[in-house]
Each structure stands twice: as structure tokens, then as C-alpha cells.
Amino acid sequence: MSTQTAKILMKGNEVMCEAAVRAGCKFFAGYPITPQNEVPEYLSWRLPQAGGVFVQAESEIAAINMIFGAAATGFRCMTSSSSPGISLKQEGISYIAAAELPCVIANVQRGGPGLGNIRAAQSDYFQAVKGGGHGDYHLIVLAPSTLTELYALTMNAFDYADHYRNPVMILMDGILGQMVEPIVTEEYRPLFEPTEKDYILDGCKGRKPRIIKTLHLQPAEALVEVNRRLVAKYKRISSELKLCEDFQTDDARLIVSAYGITAQVSKGAVLQARSKGLKVGLIRPITLWPFPEAPFVKAAKTAEKFLVVEMSNGQMIEDVRLAEQCLRPVEFFGVGGGWYPTTDEVLDAIEKSYPA
Amino acid sequence: MTQFKRPDALYDAPTHYCPGCGHGIAQRLVGEVIDELGLRERTVATAPVGCAVLMYDYFNCDVIECPHGRSPAVATGIKRMRPDRVVFTYQGDGDLAAIGTAETIHTANRGENLTVIFVNNAIYGMTGGQMAPTTILGQTTTTTPGGRGRNREGGPIRVCELLSSLDGVCYLERVSVSSPKDVGQARKAIRKAFTNQLEEKGFSLVEVLSMCPTDWKLSPAQSVEFVETQMKKVFPLGVYKDR
């Protein structure tokens, strides 16, 4: 594939890969797991073609630790997996977050818990947004809803990672990973001015040696100071980076909220409800962390009810309740385990939840 | 006549290692080799979890501290992106041969162009003397109070022998730091493991039999004796692979 802009038909997993390569990703390590196998397969030839390095790791644990090393050298790097594999990566993710190194981690979610199945799901929201690994840390979590958005957000993910020196997770699902759409391969445009990477390990020629570590034993306050620094960074990210799509909410009596592929389905249902004369809107968080509270606060002033749709047993609903501060009832439509909502089913749920 | 001085690759700092511990000798040898080959300013080291975790307080070069057992994977990421830099891991027996076994075997099997310094003292030091994968049969530890048993805990893992079947491995040698003669040979092996990397020959590992008086509950002199009479029987010194 050339690096020119073109309109081509691509699978979601490959869209993410192509965007990553164009955003300057130079290292990928991963392990096969369905439904994200196209990611290592595509990058196994595409990354070397673009002057990068691909490694098929012996495990998810090894893969995330290869990312830890590659990130320490200052090159853009990423790994991907699906739910059970992302669980295995949590140790490394905690270390990378603690060391404040940039990298991109994609989770093409599948049904759980346990080995689950290979159908799409959104059951890893808590893991992605609330921590996942040990210790107090946050990932920046991006939730694309279409392949065009996946392409753009993947490029942005590398920028956010570098800008905030923080791991970024692309939280997608098996449908987005496997679906095929025409994509316009726009050129990469960085979101930020590049800053000097003053942390990288490349030998200490002409400078003092650098240490990347996450153990802070002495003085006793040292780790507290690290935590305070992280808190300050997370506050800064929260104040600067909250992305959300607010769709027809101004006069809405019922607000549907969903992210990712579920939001795409819900949007269709909202449009159908509108054509039936129901005043329904959609709030679609694009950053799941930091969570965009403001649109919910605003909507809670006029709307009478919220309806959260997820391919899970109800996870983002907790953040919606926190965001709208329990001002209005919040109902739920969804279940985990590989269940997909159709537009008609969401429309039916809307009609049932619609205020009398 | 060699002048006895601190290598530039090591800081002038007191270590936290116990009296009679072998880490100080092993790390000094690594420091001397880095000096001799002029590598300090192009070296990136990985620190393990275990007694050597604080080695960045002693090594005057870039260091990354890794999750337990993951050093070979972290080192792979560094070396693949910076093939012109010298990358070495320094790992203990629990780190390399228990929790990090998969990383060790697969990094070796890929033939990653790395240098691994593997310190085998047959016990978990930092956590207070529990059984290691290399604890020898009959050896008493805090988790094998009756001595390690073949039918309960299995026998000690011989890392050099285990890795010697892998095509990707370039060089394997087991040495000891329990006598001046052994220290001399250990130095030669460590030097070779670094020059192999400079010559892009692939994966080189030096296993260093080392003393742990504190957790063996022996005096430093008795600990040397333990290596000489017990460990060397189970872990014969020598070159296991050199291609």
C-alpha cells in the first residue's frame, strides 16, 4: 500500500494498523487471539515495509513487556489483543503507567468472563477505565464508533500517548475489528508540537545515566510523591481531553447513551424514534477515560430519563449515573456474553423507556 | 600489572548486599568488562526484581527496572529498536528460571542479540530465603523446611543444560564466584558474552553460581564451601554452548 490518500475497502483491525503505521508506529509485539488476528498479521509485513519492527511474542505478558522496552527507547509502539489477552497484559500496563511511558494498547473486546467466546462484547469497560492492573493509575481510553473514526483516533492515540506520557487504550470490539468499510486513508497530522523525549534510554553518551523504574522505597514519602505527580497529570488530562458526540439532545426527553459499535446501532434507533415523533437524543462518549460528564449534566436539566445501551451487563451505566449525578432515572438495555443489539431492539427499548 | 581501581561503569557507592554475597563480585566483573570494552556510554541494562533490583544505584549507565522475570522481553524491545546499543539483563534464579521461564526460553530461542548475566544462588534472597527453581535437593529453605524433595517440589532446574538445545542460542557458560580462580574464569565468560553481542552473534548467557550466606544461614566461609562442595556437583561449571 502506498502512503497516499486513497479510498479503499478495509477491515477494522487493518484500518487500525494502517493508521498506526502512518502515525509513525515503529514497533509492535503481540500474540494471536481472535478476533484481533488481523492486527499482528497485517503488521508482520506492513511494519517492516515502513522501517519498523514486528515481533510475535510468546505470550501477552512478553508482548506488553517488549512494549515497555521499546517505549523506553522513545519510539512509537503498540500492542493489541482481545479480552483474555488484555487481562494478561495488566501487570505490564501498570508498570508502563507507573513509569509514565507512552504506548498504544488495543483491546478488540470479545465475550467474557473467562475464555468466553469470540463474539463481540463491551465487557471490559471497568478493566479499561477503572484500572485493570494494580495501583492507582489511569489509561486514556478511546472508543471509536466507526472505522473512519477508528482510523483517526488511532493516529490521535499516539499523539496523546506522547503528549501526556501515558499509555492509551483503544477500546473496540469484535464487530469493529471484523467489519469492512470504505476508508479514506487521510495523511497523518499530529495534534501537538513534538516535544523532546528527555527520558529515553539510548546509552548515556554526553549526559548522566537515566533510570526508568517503578520501585520507590526511600524516603518513605517517595512513592507518595509519585502518586501526587500522577494525580496532577490525570487532573490535567481530565481538564484537557474529554471527547463526546452530542446528538439531538437539545429537546430530548429521553437520552440514550452508548459507546463504540453500540452507539452506531443506537444512533439508528434514535433516528427511527425521531421519525415516530419521539424526542430522543444520544450522548456518545468518545473518551471513556476521562469520562465526558458535562453533556450529561447539561442533559439532566431538561431530559427526563437516560437509557444506557451496552454489550455488557451494565458497566458504563455507573459512570453515566455519576455524571448526571442521579438527577434522573437511568435505565439499562444490554447483556454481556456476545449479545448484539439490533436497531429494532434498541428502538423497542427506547419506546419502553420513553417517559409517559 | 593491573591497577586495582573502581571501574567507571560502577558508581562509588556502598551496596546493600549482605556480607559474603556474590552479587558484588558479579557486578564488579560486569563493570570491569564494560570498561574494558568501552561500552558504558552505549549500554542499557535491565534491573530484575530480587536482590539486584537496586543495581541502578551501582551501575553508571542507563538502566530500566523490569517486572519480575520480564527482563528478557523488555530487553528485546530495547535491542530491536536500538540494535547499535549494548543491552544486558542481570537476573536471579527466581526471576529467570521461575516466573520468567517463558521469557527466558523464547528470548533465547529467537536468538535475540543480548547478554544475560544469570546469578544462581539457589534461593530467593530478597523475600527471605524461600525455595528457588535452582534450590538443590535436600536444601532447607523457609518453604521447604524439611529440605527440597524430588517428589514434592521437583529437582533443581539446570538452565544452561535446558537452553543448550535451542538453535537460537550462541553461548552458554556456567561459572562461579566462589574462588579467585573461578572469578577469573567468570570474568572471561562475561567478557565473551558481551563481545558476542558486539559481533552480533546472538543470545549469550553466563550462569554465575553465587553465595547467599544470609538466607542459607551459613557464614561467608561456609557459603563458599557450599558452592564448592554442593552446588558445583549439581551445576557443573563449563561451556554448554559456543558457536
In a domain, B16, yes or no: no
Q: How many domains does chain A divide into?
A: 2
Domain encompassing residue B189:
23-242
What pLDDT, on the 0 to 100 scale, is given for residue A166? Answer: 98
Considering only CB atoms, A203 lies closest to which of B41, B56, B75, namely: B41
Does A26 fall in a domain?
A: yes
Query: Which pLDDT score, from 0 to 100, does residue A3 have?
Result: 60
Give the residue numbers spanning the domain of A121.
Answer: 7-184
For B84, other C-beta atoms within 10 Å of its C-beta total 8
Identify whether A209 is part of a domain.
no
Give the mutation candidate from B55, B82, B197 for the A interface (greatest A CB count, under 10 A). Answer: B82
pLDDT in tens, A118-142: 999 999 999 999 989 999 999 999 9
> Do A173 and A275 belong together in one domain?
no
**Domain contains B13:** no
Q: Give pLDDT, residue B243.
A: 92
Which residues have CB under 8 Å from A197's CB, separation 6+? A74, A162
The per-residue pLDDT for A195 is 86
User: How many angstroms separate the Cα of A181 from the Cα of each of A7, A177, A339?
Assistant: 10, 11, 22
Q: What CATH number has the domain bearing residue A299?
A: 3.40.50.920
Please tell me if residue B11 touches chain A, with a CB cutoff of 8 Å.
no
Same domain, A54 and A165: yes
Nearest alpha-carbon partner for A142 in A53, A315, A259, A25? A259
pLDDT confidence bin for B1, thresholds 50/70/90: low
Domain CATH code at residue B106: 3.40.50.970
Does residue A204 lie within any of the structural domains?
A: no
Q: Assess if residue B62 is contained within a domain.
A: yes
Q: What is the pLDDT of residues B164-204, one digit of tens each?
A: 999 999 999 999 999 999 999 999 999 999 999 999 999 99
Q: Which residue of A has its CA nearest to B48?
A: A213
Residue A225 lies in a domain: no
Decide if B64 and A213 are in contact by the 8 Å CB cutoff.
yes
pLDDT per residue over B89-118, tens digit each?
999 999 999 999 999 999 999 999 999 999
Query: Could you tell me if residue A66 is inside a domain?
Result: yes
* B15 found inside a domain: no
Enumerate the residues of chain B whose CB falls inside 8 A of the CB of residue A215.
Answer: 53-54, 65
Contact assignment for B73 to A204 by CB distance below 8 Å: no
Alpha-helical segments (H) within chain A: 12-22, 38-49, 60-72, 83-99, 125-130, 147-164, 174-178, 222-240, 260-275, 294-302, 316-323, 343-353
Is residue A19 domain-shared with residue A137, that is, in the same domain?
yes
Name A157's Cβ contacts closer than 8 Å, sequence gap at least 6. A23, A104, A140, A142, A168, A170
Threshold 0.90, pTM exceeds = yes
Within an 8 Å CB–CB cutoff, is residue A70 touching chain B? yes
Chain B residues within 8 A of A203 when measuring between CB atoms: 41-44, 61-62, 85-86
Q: Note the ipTM here.
A: 0.97
Residue A175 and residue A300 in one domain: no
Domain identity same for A26 and A158: yes
Q: What is the mean pLDDT of chain B?
A: 97
Q: How many pairs of residues across A and B have Cβ atoms under 8 Å apart? A: 131
Q: Do A203 and B44 count as a contact with CB atoms less than 8 A apart?
A: yes
Asked whether B117 and B206 are in contact (CB, 8 A), the reply is yes
- Domain-located, residue B32: yes
CA-wise closest residue to A110 among A100, A121, A101, A102: A121
Instruction: Say yes or no: A124 and A262 in one domain.
Output: no
Cβ(A104)–Cβ(A78) below 8 Å: yes
In a shared domain, residues A296 and A152: no
Query: Do residues B170 and B202 make contact, with C-beta atoms less than 8 angstroms apart?
Result: yes
pLDDT digits (tens, 9 = 90+) for B115-161: 999 999 999 999 999 999 999 999 999 999 999 999 999 999 999 99
Are A68 and A164 found together in one domain?
A: yes
Q: Identify all chain A residues contacting B82, using CB atoms and an 8 Å cutoff.
A: 73, 202
CATH of residue A73's domain is 3.40.50.970
Distance from C-alpha of B14 to C-alpha of B9, rounded to nearest angstrom: 14
Residues 6+ positions from B151 with CB-CB distance below 8 Å: none
**DSSP-H helix ranges across chain B:** 23-36, 71-81, 93-94, 101-110, 159-163, 180-198, 213-216, 220-226, 232-234
Chain B residues closer than 8 Å to A89 by CB: none
Does a structural domain hold residue B12? no
Look up residue A28 and give its three cell numbers: 509492535
Q: For residue B135, give the DSSP letter.
A: P
What is the reported pLDDT for B3? 64
Q: Give the mutation candidate from A54, A59, A73, A217 for the B interface (greatest B CB count, under 10 A).
A: A73
Tell me, yes or no, whether A226 lies in a domain. Answer: no
Residue of A73, A209, A215 lying closest to B60 (CB–CB): A209
| Record: contact A27-B67, CB cut-off 8 A | no
What confidence tier does B2 reach under pLDDT thresholds 50, 70, 90? Answer: low
How many domains, chain B?
1
For residues A171 and A277, membership in a common domain is answered with: no
Q: Residue B233's pLDDT band (boundaries 50, 70, 90)?
A: very high
Same domain, A78 and A168: yes
Average pLDDT of each block of 10 consecutive residues along chain A (356 residues)?
77 98 98 97 98 98 98 98 98 98 98 96 98 96 98 98 98 97 94 94 97 95 97 98 97 98 98 98 98 97 97 98 95 97 98 96
Determine what percent of chain B is predicted with pLDDT higher than 90. Answer: 98
